A and B are shown apart, each in its own frame.
Chain A
């Protein structure tokens, strides 16, 4: 799932500067699951904006709408309709949702209320942790199911580096050494002979570096 975190309120207020009628939009998808941009968070942010404006004796009228997914135009119809009566749209969805709105909405400004951070999973309740860098060429079959691109701070294909200490990455004591995890999994699954196979350089052209990616299904069109 995609994980994000709300931007600081000061930043949000700076985006809203000069606007009175605001359409604040949430998403029932990933941002709801990570408690960042769902209906509840839309309500909370709306209150915070109203409070901030009240303190400055400035008016604001917030219209709230939370849709199934902001990354799919079929769920944006009502949202786009409501935007006509507003000065701008602020979206609490991930970057994909914000951008699809901007693409479909016509001449209306669209602003992000959150920073989209990563694709991740929930290793324990209340914690979301990055797991996938969308390299476009999944190597998990060779590394015991642990991603060297994402879990290693240096994305080494032939790790670990000399900075691995007691299973912890040198850059942050809260980060496990990705290669220690890979080695542990290779060992546990009887695949340690894989370790000495030299992994060749990544084809980064399959990732963001190669340009905008897309998937087309003719049978669905």
Chain B
């Protein structure tokens, strides 16, 4: 089996605390937008995710943006949702991505199309994220397509999944993590964490089942830009847990200083997560605020980083 080029996997295997970030592709055929984001993040991350038509809004496809990131010297994590493609296209895209040197795959269900700019689109969901994990693993390890035929040139991918410890019902989130690990997830990126107590409870459940040793868990972080953003996320975004204390902390600071306070909160959260057993890194989702990532990584004492 040929070696995977995943820097992320190399860093995690070596026992280092990994840093990944997220880059959203542009809403047009503008590769330079991706290159700009790459330049901001290079040297501060071990790998960078590219979202896949996030919130069901059409953007440059993840595979293309990942290729551009790689050209800029960053290890890319291709996010793949189940909303827009059937198993034929999914396997085809995995082959394509691997052929372009993309080494990491994050398997997701995908936001429902009702949230995006094409709510009338047909909803695919031929397979779900757990089945997609299995399919990717089977292509790589058994050189078999899900239909049973041979893969001539298995795709070498470091395969991951997402978990949301803050979704309901809470009691199902560790069993769900177990399912994803059983299906083939080698790394996990969590939804962004503001409620450390709840996250600690989740991690305890994960550790009790030894899941932290079967997959590398990276804790999600999103720097809050303002109290308004925090309130919006708390009230309107499903699966988001933003404690009142966090919102109050931001409100307690004058508007133009809230961004800085948001970064402070992110850095403090990372520092607490570093010492939480089973947390092997952080995944910083600074949506349309990639400039915040270098500052956060440095302030949290996570340098040096090799983006490869």
Contacts and interface: CB of A to CB of B under 8 A. Distances in A.
B200 to A, nearest CB: 19
A184 to B, nearest CB: 9
A165 B172 contact: no
A167 B172 CA distance: 12
Contacts of B169: 160, 164, 167, 180, 183
B198 to A, nearest CB: 14
A165 B167 contact: yes
A115 interface: no
Contacts of B306: none
A160 B109 CA distance: 10
Interface stretch (B17-25, B60-68, B127-135, B270-278): B127-135
B153 interface: no
B280 interface: no
A167 B193 CA distance: 21
A157 B183 CA distance: 13
A201 B239 contact: no
Bin chain B's interface residue count.
35 or more
Nearest to B130: A158
A162 B125 contact: no
Contacts of B10: none
A201 B238 contact: no
A165 B238 contact: yes
B287 interface: no
A195 B131 contact: no
A170 B176 CA distance: 18
Interface in B162-187: 162-164, 167-169, 172, 175-176, 178-179, 182-183
A193 to B, nearest CB: 10
A164 B164 CA distance: 10
A163 B112 contact: yes
A101 B229 CA distance: 57
Contacts of A170: 112, 238-239
A75 interface: no
Nearest to B112: A171
Interface string A169-210: 011100001001001000000000001101111101000000
A162 B172 contact: no
Contact of B172 (A163, A183, A200): A183
Contact of A164 (B127, B134, B135, B167): B167
A163 B125 contact: no
B109 A196 contact: no
A156 interface: yes
A153 interface: yes
A204 B175 CA distance: 27
Interface string B98-135: 00000000000111101100000001011111110011
> Closest 6 A-B residue pairs measured CB to CB?
A162-B164, A170-B238, A158-B130, A163-B238, A156-B128, A162-B239
24 contacts: A153-B123, A154-B82, A154-B110, A155-B125, A157-B128, A157-B130, A158-B131, A158-B179, A160-B169, A161-B109, A162-B164, A162-B239, A164-B168, A164-B239, A165-B167, A170-B112, A180-B168, A183-B172, A195-B172, A198-B131, A198-B134, A198-B183, A200-B131, A201-B87
Given A201-B87, A201-B126, 16 more contacts: A153-B123, A154-B110, A154-B112, A154-B128, A158-B131, A163-B112, A163-B238, A164-B238, A171-B112, A177-B168, A180-B169, A183-B172, A195-B175, A199-B131, A202-B126, A202-B127
Interface of B: 82-83, 87, 109-112, 114-115, 123, 125-131, 134-135, 146, 162-164, 167-169, 172, 175-176, 178-179, 182-183, 191, 238-239
